[in-house]
Structure 1
């Protein structure tokens, strides 16, 4: 059995100057969301063998906030191809994982995480499993095969979908 965890970065800052979209960091609300997610994950006991993180500042800061107090989480592997990925790109990334990897966490962006998570459960349809996939959301899926190469649309079961409490407007 394999486990896939998806984390959408916490709320980013739009009002501060930044050179490129990759440079946008977390807003005050995003830091609060990160702490709420960290508290949830600290209690939950989810574990990842690998964590693949988009190179965007907001994804790096979100995961860094989690690792600050959850030492069981692995060092992040920054993957350039997660930044502007679509669901097929994310599937390609997971197909390339070693079969010794039991669980993986992707820290990335919408709309790709929502589309990817939905398609893994519902099949390759243009519909969403979620009413919304807000910032700092955590999705856990299970896949009952021993090879990542056999991961396909509709092959996963939903384990958990957690969203931070209402902290201002999304």
Structure 2
């Protein structure tokens, strides 16, 4: 079995309209969202073995604010990558649980492509900032990763975490 975690970067800042898109940092809401998502991941004992992360400032900062321990590979090729390029990168991965941190529209398209059934959640289709899908695949090697074979274990957004019951 292998588990795949697909995380879109947290909310980025548009404070400097002249800044290069690749260099945009997170805004305050994004910083809070990424921290909350990291707390949730730790609470579920879902830390990844390997992280494949776009090298853009907002994806790197999202990863850093999760404060998880894992091997990380930053890749400029994942910046605004489409689902096919992301799938190819994942098929070369190692470890039982791999996280990819990237951008829309590719990340949302990849999540929809990889799972058999979409989760019942109003935001899965638009895959908002800092959305996370955790899916399980009945494979022994990432080279065998293929579309429509994943079973969704979790899909959530920082908004879901903020609004969760303390008894959940």
Q: Which TM bucket (shorter chain)?
A: 0.7 to 0.9
**3-state SS in 2 of match to 1:114:** helix
Name the structure 2 match of 1:22: 22
Distance 1:147 1:11, change over 3 A: same
| Aligned counterparts of 2:86 and 2:143: Cα–Cα separation in 1 | 13
Name the structure 2 match of 1:126: none
Structure 1 segments of 4 or more deviating over 6 A? Answer: none
| Aligned counterparts of 2:115 and 2:37: Cα–Cα separation in 1 | 23
Name the structure 1 match of 2:11: 11
The one of 133, 149, 158 equivalent to 2:152 is 158
Aligned pairs for 1:75-90 (under 5 A) are 75-90=71-86
Deviations 1:134-162 (A, max 9, x none): 11111101110112122111111111001
Aligned pairs for 1:8-157 (under 5 A) are 8-67=8-67, 70=68, 73-98=69-94, 101-122=95-116, 130-157=124-151
Q: Provide structure 1 residue ranges, at least 5 long, that are not aligned to the other structure.
A: 124-128
Q: Provide structure 2 residue ranges, at least 5 long, that are not aligned to the other structure.
A: 118-122, 163-168
Once the two structures are TM-superposed, the CA of residue 17 in structure 1 deviates from its matched residue by 4.7
TM-score in terms of structure 2 length: 0.85
Once the two structures are TM-superposed, the CA of residue 58 in structure 1 deviates from its matched residue by 0.5
| Aligned counterparts of 1:14 and 1:158: Cα–Cα separation in 2 | 32
Asked whether the 8 Å contact 2:49–2:71 carries over to 1, the reply is no
| Aligned counterparts of 1:18 and 1:144: Cα–Cα separation in 2 | 46
Once the two structures are TM-superposed, the CA of residue 97 in structure 1 deviates from its matched residue by 2.1
Once the two structures are TM-superposed, the CA of residue 18 in structure 1 deviates from its matched residue by 5.0
